[in-house]
Structure 1
């Protein structure tokens, strides 16, 4: 910022320089937060009373406090009321005449707003029983929507929460309840013990008639002390019959055992609650003592092993944050990777080593790294250590680079310095910086001390550059076909600096031979690639292997460009590769080749239809069937889609009876079939799923499959009056939030201009005839809208481009992002050349005409345009390869 405090509005978007100015001048001693939530069940109540008392020292006589509010009733500074008209400006409360020689006490009383966007204090009314549920989500900067605070990660303090609500509600925050009083009006007030010093974004509140499962973790520490951690797992009461809370407690206990051993630092947050909450914008959030998870992890339908593994991975990810992120926190959002990359890597490591899930790294290679590769090839790619000038930029940096690329690079780091050195560095880092804030240099210092290696060059190469390195084996042969020279080559260009990518890698290179239809590994040799290439002497003197696989053990972050022999082998014999990790690595690199328009999508679709049924890893099988549907819809030339859909539907229908009834593979196949059926294929399968049970395919039609089938029926134009009546009757019989949102999707999916008009307007306004939409209801409607032909949706494109800037300027970040991404005209059929595509040209024109638009909005549009361009280029390659 500057040394003189500036006042301006709107001022929700805190800048990095402002935060640094405030951090230099403020020492925050404690905060007391009182929230009266007794009126939450009254749907006409828009706000709740929030009273915050902050005690802090200031080196300057002026500062500002963050509070996004409905109203402010009073601000007392050291006991004296100040003029609200001059102090309260938009999202900030400006304070003058502060003491600089003694601490200040500021008490702020106001009304904070109940949220429907999943930001701040979210309110949800259960459609099954009418009960009201509340929970908070604050990252990166939404605590100020609930109470007044210094909303930045490097101003930590101790918080004490007092919560008032109905007497029969479960009320909770980060720390245990130490006092409870029943009030004369029948409500109760609970007071929690003060937290250790934490950042505002990881404080949390939970309130409602939640179902609670309790447990205890007891562990003897290295010094002989016994550590007791009270645990709870909660969900909505209407989901209790589906909730395996005991399993959550068990996994939590396994994770605590593992992390205590790994980090050699006792869990510092007292209790450990895991709350599964509705309409959650994230997978989970690491609030210490009260971790929140999406209730999609409370499985109301058949859950595959892959879904359970993903839930376990999320649980371990959030637990890693109790140390990486909560105990030691980044100073500013530039170093977001210091918590998210670490949690993604160590969470997967814990899921693999501490639980019964044996394919955690395989699923990581297939799913998480694919996310990273997509993000790192966007025009908005950035280094892992990013440049984050303000909160809007921070909000958008929770992406595949910060999470999955960072985790992949940390896995490579562990290979580079050794697992023991990495562990010892983490232990020293926690001991030195506990309850403090750090930056990149602090962790590198710990790494250098533990490993004895200079980490500066490694950090510059991996953490401060952008783009995906590509690896391929280059070899020469003599007339007999014997290899005379061979090297592993690294290529690629940093899209930000245009410099060649030259990163150090420690990895293995595998050689495989076909033997009776199986791909048998004959060699796997570890090499250290320090620059552009390294010799592979183990290949000299032999014939070309059927498959050469760089990154055979998935030790590093890189895409593989297969030599022609290896690619042909894989497309014809991928089911013969029985080792799950290299198989997932091969599938992932072939998928990127489709998206990069170097492998035609129809060949990849054929490979899935020929070989995916042999994949036994539920997580990878789910990835492949998802890619099957996506490849046909986005990357195959339009004139080839109908035939490929029919072929895919016929093959998958055969799989339904080939796989064991009720198995993960059968369940995933059925779900993929109904997705394909949105285009009109496999009508007999839809009719069977929506008809009498049991069906001829011996498929159990659970909630997910039932509603997927109705959505497909609607998108295919077969939701006639009778079918629509049955759909509404099914939703009425079991009025879950899944049912309600699926009805929204189905009605919007109908291939009818009026249905599309209604859906488009509903999403654009985030309202329908019943009032404001929730975050999930908005996205459900947008999904239905996009399930239509390009011709049907074309009339809305001009209106879309006219609306997006007002949407971004008038809606909160969460809603604006869902609207702009949800309605983007991204599903296009290639007609002439890629350059002639009207939707692509419209996006380019808008960006050129709006150079001064907010950077966060332009980032959304740049990424959507890039994905559309990639889709069209793949379609062109598919057409040329017919």
Structure 2
């Protein structure tokens, strides 16, 4: 373990001896527009009390010029990650002058040059521990400080931090801006952004306490920024959360900035929330995309209380903010955001993510054991977010919504600006609900894995609910019968489940065609349909009126396919039959994505080509039959792009639409993103040339266009082309995070295993040195993105056996990729023989 990988124990020991008060940061990015300049001056002054004579300050950068302790200069003792500080007194003022490095990986201070206009943009991203890449800090969540930022930058730029601007002065080569001191914050949620960002301003009248609002993006994206919708969601959310939590928004202003080459969906920095600019829709967008953006806006807003006002002590309790924000994002989208189907999307998309993660051998409890920062980085997963949100939804039902929000209010009042652990939250909820939550916590927060719920139909017609890995559930089984060709709900049985078998008293299945456990998606469990119910769903799924019930059925069918219980061919047939009738575009998009994945991963080798051709034909017909300009039409158009990367059956028609010799379907917005998706698909099958890609880039010279262009060139089905892309991914350290992802996508395009199988040995030789030499974000993309999809587990098993001393985070990633490959091979082997 390197000194950069901070451990829970050593940071806890540091927190016991240091009481941090303030941190003053002075950044100078006036030279940022000169890309030859790789570093920037940074100065931090930390004021704190100490009961120790020696400690360390965290900093990962280019150099440390000086360290001053209580006015006295000290020798610089810096190992590249930690600055040793000694001679401490009861009260201390320590100033460190250093140089940080501009980032192209999305970690620390990221620098981006817009190819459209040549402008340079900066923003920070720190979670869990990258503030130390920008200024010297005590990098742990339980050492909060009041922060004062000063930033020098080129004149004419937007210059932002979490606090409000308090003044600016001209300095040689730019302007120097000061910001108001913040309330106590952990280092990982401080933030800075600078550049010629386009800004739209607004205000929220918070009960006579106006909160300034701002929405920002790159200047070249300004025409696509629907700021009015974003501001509307923001006002609705602030109103809702202030009332729900009975605690005024504490951070002053509320800026939201959409930034390029972002590694996450968003980050909750108080006063300066950052989002991926994928939420700035350049072309056509579906209702589900707008719902997803609103959900993310509200998720980050919930963090202003859950996570920022009250923060977990260490990353074990990451769920104390992420599970709550994930739950609150959907809850607020329904209650205040204007998106009544948000829980439908949650049932399909977020829970689907959790179910996959919870079946891996590396699954963990929601309250996880996180010994160090590398483990923390990989814990931002489907369990911490979506499983945690799922069980919180059940907890709200268990204690009652009013009691839950009263408990949250007590939690904020008791722990404002502090740090907490699980017992602190449970105590607040127990006090307000009168419920003992110890058993609930043990069953849901402190265990791993998931139950599989099904209904057995006994010979006498009795219905018995079964579950594996028994847990307490309160759920409803929906009972549906076929009436005039439609599945009509005839009732339901609400039941408390604790054991492996629970009879559904008074109910028989003689006249029930579909028994749907967890029909309202109230609990967290994998649902398995019995044979008769599967047949009913296969024939009549689209006749179900309730979108939540359809979401549960779609999820059950997909899980059965992933487990090898439902043949891939039958799943594809079900999607082909019912997806054209699916009115919820999020469910439609998920069904299409799952079909693409099923064909590529789970279909038997001798059936894959036939399935791929047939699926492309299905997508093509559905595209032309969809209502012009509808969300469904756009979803099917995107599915055509995915399917055409495997099958060339419609290559000529697609090419003709792109070059304008054949009209596109009426109403289809053939925007740059869709054009690139289709062109990349053609490139993957050898039906698009570098000249085609050049022409597309000339038409769309945006940053997104340059990323897609890189994928299109690397996707060509030529062994030499794929080899060059393979080596570039591993060896070209100048690739930004987005350009690396684009290169990896080209290497893997079209599932052309035959073009890259020769690199399997190279992969296993590279991953450990890469983990040691590259940032964790870049190394993770390489380890996951280029894992060999071979026909055997021998190579990965040999690596695991020979590298049991590898860093734990790397070991976890390889184990997870092995599990995915093992599932692929197992499910393929379970497919019925071709007729």
Task: Indicate the TM-score class for this superposition, using the shorter chain for normalisation.
Answer: over 0.9
Equivalent position to 2:444, from 430, 447, 462: 462
Does residue 211 (structure 1) correspond to residue 198 (structure 2)? The answer is yes
Change over 3 Å in CA distance of 1:606–1:157 after alignment to 2: same
Q: Does structure 1 conserve the Cα–Cα contact (< 8 Å) formed by 2:212 and 2:252?
A: yes
Residue matched to 2:277: 295
1:383-406 superposed Cα distances (whole Å, 9 cap, x missing partner): 000000000000000000000000
Equivalent position to 1:706, from 661, 670, 675: 675
Provide the rounded CA distance (Å) in 1 between the counterparts of 2:2 and 2:423. 34
Does residue 171 (structure 1) correspond to residue 159 (structure 2)? The answer is yes
Equivalent position to 2:745, from 768, 780, 783: 783
Provide the rounded CA distance (Å) in 2 between the counterparts of 1:297 and 1:644. 33
1:105-145 superposed Cα distances (whole Å, 9 cap, x missing partner): 00000100100000000000001000000000000000000
| Mapping for residues 333-732 of structure 1, pairs under 5 Å | 333-478=315-460, 483=461, 485-491=462-468, 501-540=469-508, 543-679=510-646, 680-692=648-660, 695-698=663-666, 699-720=668-689, 724-732=690-698
1:362-385 superposed Cα distances (whole Å, 9 cap, x missing partner): 011111100000000001100000
What are the ranges of 5 or more consecutive residues in structure 2 without an aligned counterpart?
none
| Mapping for residues 83-98 of structure 1, pairs under 5 Å | 83-84=75-76, 87-98=77-88
Q: Secondary structure at the match of 2:787?
A: coil
Q: Secondary structure at the match of 2:140?
A: coil
- How far 1:881 sits from its partner (Å)? 7.7
Provide the rounded CA distance (Å) in 1 between the counterparts of 2:134 and 2:657. 45
Q: Does structure 2 conserve the Cα–Cα contact (< 8 Å) formed by 1:600 and 1:881?
A: no
TM-score by length of structure 1 reads 0.93
Q: Secondary structure at the match of 2:659?
A: coil
Q: Secondary structure at the match of 1:233?
A: strand
Q: Secondary structure at the match of 1:690?
A: helix
Which deviates the most, 633-642 or 201-210?
A: 633-642
Residue matched to 1:20: 12
Provide the rounded CA distance (Å) in 2 between the counterparts of 1:544 and 1:90. 71
Q: Does structure 2 conserve the Cα–Cα contact (< 8 Å) formed by 1:472 and 1:560?
A: yes
Residue matched to 1:198: 185
Q: Secondary structure at the match of 1:89?
A: coil
- How far 1:568 sits from its partner (Å)? 1.1
State the 4+ residue runs in structure 1 displaced beyond 6 angstroms: none
Q: Does structure 2 conserve the Cα–Cα contact (< 8 Å) formed by 1:53 and 1:106?
A: yes
Residue matched to 2:772: 809
Equivalent position to 2:759, from 774, 779, 796: 796
Equivalent position to 2:257, from 268, 275, 282: 275
Equivalent position to 1:774, from 725, 736, 755: 736
Provide the rounded CA distance (Å) in 2 between the counterparts of 1:386 and 1:702. 43
Q: Does structure 2 conserve the Cα–Cα contact (< 8 Å) formed by 1:689 and 1:706?
A: no
Residue matched to 2:231: 249
Q: Does structure 2 conserve the Cα–Cα contact (< 8 Å) formed by 1:127 and 1:737?
A: yes
- How far 1:544 sits from its partner (Å)? 4.2
Which deviates the most, 690-699 or 345-354?
A: 690-699
Provide the rounded CA distance (Å) in 2 between the counterparts of 1:38 and 1:355. 40
Residue matched to 2:831: 878
Does residue 755 (structure 1) correspond to residue 721 (structure 2)? The answer is yes
Provide the rounded CA distance (Å) in 1 between the counterparts of 2:132 and 2:834. 55
Provide the rounded CA distance (Å) in 1 between the counterparts of 2:661 and 2:170. 51
- How far 1:646 sits from its partner (Å)? 2.1
- How far 1:701 sits from its partner (Å)? 1.3
Provide the rounded CA distance (Å) in 1 between the counterparts of 2:607 and 2:341. 35
Q: Does structure 1 conserve the Cα–Cα contact (< 8 Å) formed by 2:107 and 2:126?
A: yes
Q: Does structure 2 conserve the Cα–Cα contact (< 8 Å) formed by 1:10 and 1:90?
A: no
Q: Secondary structure at the match of 1:537?
A: strand
- The CA RMSD over aligned residues, in Å, is 1.3
1:832-858 superposed Cα distances (whole Å, 9 cap, x missing partner): xxxxx33x2100110001110111111
Provide the rounded CA distance (Å) in 1 between the counterparts of 2:597 and 2:699. 33
- How far 1:486 sits from its partner (Å)? 2.7
Provide the rounded CA distance (Å) in 1 between the counterparts of 2:521 and 2:834. 31
- How far 1:636 sits from its partner (Å)? 1.0
- How far 1:880 sits from its partner (Å)? 4.4
Residue matched to 1:138: 126
Provide the rounded CA distance (Å) in 1 between the counterparts of 2:486 and 2:340. 22
- How far 1:204 sits from its partner (Å)? 0.4
Residue matched to 1:834: none
Q: Secondary structure at the match of 2:102?
A: strand
Which deviates the most, 314-323 or 465-474?
A: 465-474
Provide the rounded CA distance (Å) in 1 between the counterparts of 2:621 and 2:550. 24
Provide the rounded CA distance (Å) in 2 between the counterparts of 1:553 and 1:713. 42
Residue matched to 1:189: 176
- How far 1:732 sits from its partner (Å)? 2.5
Q: Secondary structure at the match of 1:130?
A: coil
Provide the rounded CA distance (Å) in 1 between the counterparts of 2:53 and 2:657. 69
- How far 1:696 sits from its partner (Å)? 4.6
- How far 1:688 sits from its partner (Å)? 3.2
Does residue 315 (structure 1) correspond to residue 315 (structure 2)? The answer is no
Provide the rounded CA distance (Å) in 2 between the counterparts of 1:811 and 1:382. 26
Q: Does structure 1 conserve the Cα–Cα contact (< 8 Å) formed by 2:729 and 2:782?
A: yes
Does residue 35 (structure 1) correspond to residue 27 (structure 2)? The answer is yes
- How far 1:475 sits from its partner (Å)? 3.3
1:261-286 superposed Cα distances (whole Å, 9 cap, x missing partner): 11111101001010000000000000
1:189-216 superposed Cα distances (whole Å, 9 cap, x missing partner): 1110000001000000010000000000
Does residue 740 (structure 1) correspond to residue 706 (structure 2)? The answer is yes
Equivalent position to 1:159, from 138, 147, 152: 147
Q: Secondary structure at the match of 1:14?
A: coil
Does residue 45 (structure 1) correspond to residue 37 (structure 2)? The answer is yes
1:662-714 superposed Cα distances (whole Å, 9 cap, x missing partner): 21111110111121111223213322331217715223311111101111111
Q: Secondary structure at the match of 1:389?
A: coil
Q: Secondary structure at the match of 2:458?
A: strand
Does residue 73 (structure 1) correspond to residue 65 (structure 2)? The answer is yes
Provide the rounded CA distance (Å) in 2 between the counterparts of 1:44 and 1:509. 64
Q: Secondary structure at the match of 2:831?
A: helix
Say how many residue pairs are matched: 832
Provide the rounded CA distance (Å) in 2 between the counterparts of 1:477 and 1:328. 55
Q: Does structure 2 conserve the Cα–Cα contact (< 8 Å) formed by 1:235 and 1:243?
A: yes
Residue matched to 2:306: 324
